[in-house]
Amino acid sequence: MDFVTPQVVFTIWGMPITNTVTSTWIIMVIMIFLAWLLGRKKPIALEMIVDFITDLLGSTMGVEATPYVPFIGTFFLFIAGANVLGLIPGVENPTKDLNTTAALAITVFFSVYYFGIRSQGLVGYLKSLAKPIIILLPFELIGHFTRALSLTLRLFGNVISIELIVAIIFSLLPYFLPSVMALYGAATGLIQAYIFTILAATYIGAGVVTTEELVKRKLAAA
C-alpha cells in the first residue's frame, strides 16, 4: 500500500503535504521556467509545441481549437511531465495519487460547462443538453459525472499499473534492460497524457458545438 498511498513529508500550518504534492510543485516550477526560457531563447521551438497541440486539438474537437490550447495543452504538458519525471528516483509521479487525477478530472468536468455556456449562452447550452426531449436532461448530466469518474480512474489505474510492471521487472532483472524499461515507462506515460488530453478535448468540443453546427455537419456528411 505504501507504493500507492502518498507519504506525508511535512506540514504547513497543520496541513499535511505529501510527496506527490511536492512533486506537483516541482513540475509546475519546471514548466513555468521552460516556458519562459523557450520564449526568450527558442521561440521557434515554443511555437512548434503550440502548433502541435493546436493541430492535435483541432482534429479532435471539430471547432477552432486556438482558444482552448492554453487550457487543454496544459493538461497534456503537466501529465506528460509528471509521468516522465516520475521515473527519476526520489520524485513521485503526482498522477499515481488518486487526489491528483480526481482534481484533473473535476477541472475538465466544470470546464465543459464553462466553455459550453460561454459558447452557446446559458439557455442555449441547457437546450442542447435537453435534446431531443427534456426528459433526457438528467441522464445527460449523469453521463457527464460518469465521464469525470472515468477520467479519474483511467489515468490513475493506468499509471499505477505501468509503475507496477516496471517495478516488478526491475526486481526480477535488476541489471538487465533498465534503460529499456525506463524508456517504456516514459513512452507509456506520454500515451496516457495523450489519451487524457484527447478525451478532455472531445468533451469540451461537444459542449461548445451548437445545435445549428451539428445540423450543418450532418447535412454536409449526407
Whether 215 has a pLDDT exceeding 80, the answer reads: no
Half-sphere exposure of 3 (CA within 13 A, CB side): 11
Whether 91 has a pLDDT exceeding 60, the answer reads: yes
Report which secondary-structure segment, H or E, holds 11: strand 8-12
Asked if 207 and 214 touch (Cβ cutoff 8 Å), the reply is no
User: Mean pLDDT throughout 209-222?
Assistant: 50
User: Residue 70 and residue 77: Cα distance in Å, rounded?
Assistant: 10
pLDDT one-digit tens code per residue, 115-133: 888 888 888 887 777 777 7
Whole-structure pTM value: 0.79
Residue with grid cell 515507462, as numbered in its chain? 185
Whether 219 has a pLDDT exceeding 60, the answer reads: no
pLDDT one-digit tens code per residue, 27-53: 899 889 988 888 888 888 888 888 888
pLDDT at 4 (0 to 100): 59
Return the SS3 of 12: strand
Asked if 46 and 38 touch (Cβ cutoff 8 Å), the reply is yes
User: Residue 46 and residue 34: Cα distance in Å, rounded?
Assistant: 9
Asked if 109 and 147 touch (Cβ cutoff 8 Å), the reply is yes
Q: Which residues pair with 17 in a beta bridge?
A: 10
pLDDT one-digit tens code per residue, 3-22: 557 777 778 887 888 888 88
Q: Band of the pLDDT at 1, cuts 50, 70, 90?
A: very low
What is the DSSP-derived secondary structure letter of residue 17? E
pLDDT at 179 (0 to 100): 65
Secondary structure (DSSP) of 60-107:
HHSS--GGGHHHHHHHHHHHHHHHHHTTSTT---GGGSHHHHHHHHHH
User: Residue 164 and residue 181: Cα distance in Å, rounded?
Assistant: 12
pLDDT at 119 (0 to 100): 81
Smallest CA-to-CA distance from 84 within 201, 202, 183, 194 is with 183
pLDDT one-digit tens code per residue, 134-154: 777 777 788 888 888 888 888
pLDDT at 222 (0 to 100): 47
Asked if 211 and 128 touch (Cβ cutoff 8 Å), the reply is yes
Half-sphere exposure of 39 (CA within 13 A, CB side): 6
Q: Who's near 163: CB < 8 A, 6+ residues apart?
A: 3, 86, 93, 96, 185
